[in-house]
Structure 1
Amino acid sequence: MELIERLKYIISDTVKAMDLLDTGYATVVSAAPLTLKIQATQLIVTEPVAVLTDNLKYRDINIQGEKIVLNPGVKPGDKVLVLKANAGQNYIVMSKV
């Protein structure tokens, strides 16, 4: 095997072993503070390790004195898709499933 090919192989294996980015599923245990139970490992993670994207945060507006909920956010028991980043140092909640 050529030196270049061998180096490519070593770099590829190293990046895979670092497990920098992955997707998975979790269950919301608590909405405030955000607490998740990761399905694959049964690991419990909380804020600031677990974060919501803006499309999952609670949003409401007042129109003529009436409160209208645009997005109900997440609640305990919701199943969510998470993006694991930095070898599990952060979990970003992408969407409900």
Structure 2
Amino acid sequence: MELIERLKYIINDTVRAMDLLDTGYATVVSVVPLTLKVQATQLIVTEPVAVLTDHVKYRDISIQGEKVVINPGVKPGDKVLVLKANAGQNYIVMSKV
């Protein structure tokens, strides 16, 4: 194998091994503090490693004195789609499944 081809092979293997970005599933264990159990590894992650996007955060508004829930957020037992970033240093909850 030529030197350039061998270097490309080594670089590709290194980047793949770093596992910088990946998706997976998790189960919400608790909401305060946010705690997730990652399905693939059974790893338990909590805030600040686990974070919610605006799409899954609880949100309500008041209309004429009545509270209207726009997004119910997540609750314990919910299955969620997570984006693993920075080789598992962060888990970002993208949506409920």
Hey, what's the Cα distance between the residues in 2 that align with 1:12 and 1:60? 46
Hey, what's the Cα distance between the residues in 1 that align with 2:72 and 2:79? 14
Listed as ranges, the gaps of 5+ residues in structure 2 are none
Aligned length: 97
Residue 2 of structure 1, CA deviation: 2.2
Partner of 2:19: 19
- TM-score, normalised to structure 2, is 0.96
Partner of 2:3: 3
Identity of aligned residues (%): 90
| SS of residue in 2 equivalent to 1:48 | coil
Residue 31 of structure 1, CA deviation: 0.8
| SS of residue in 2 equivalent to 1:75 | coil
Residue 90 of structure 1, CA deviation: 0.7
- TM-score, normalised to structure 1, is 0.96
Structure 1 segments (4+ residues) deviating >3 Å: none
Q: Deviations over 1:4-63 (max 9, x none)?
A: 221111110000011111111100000111000011111111000000011111100001
CA RMSD, 1 decimal: 0.7
Partner of 1:32: 32
- 1:48 matched to 2:48: yes
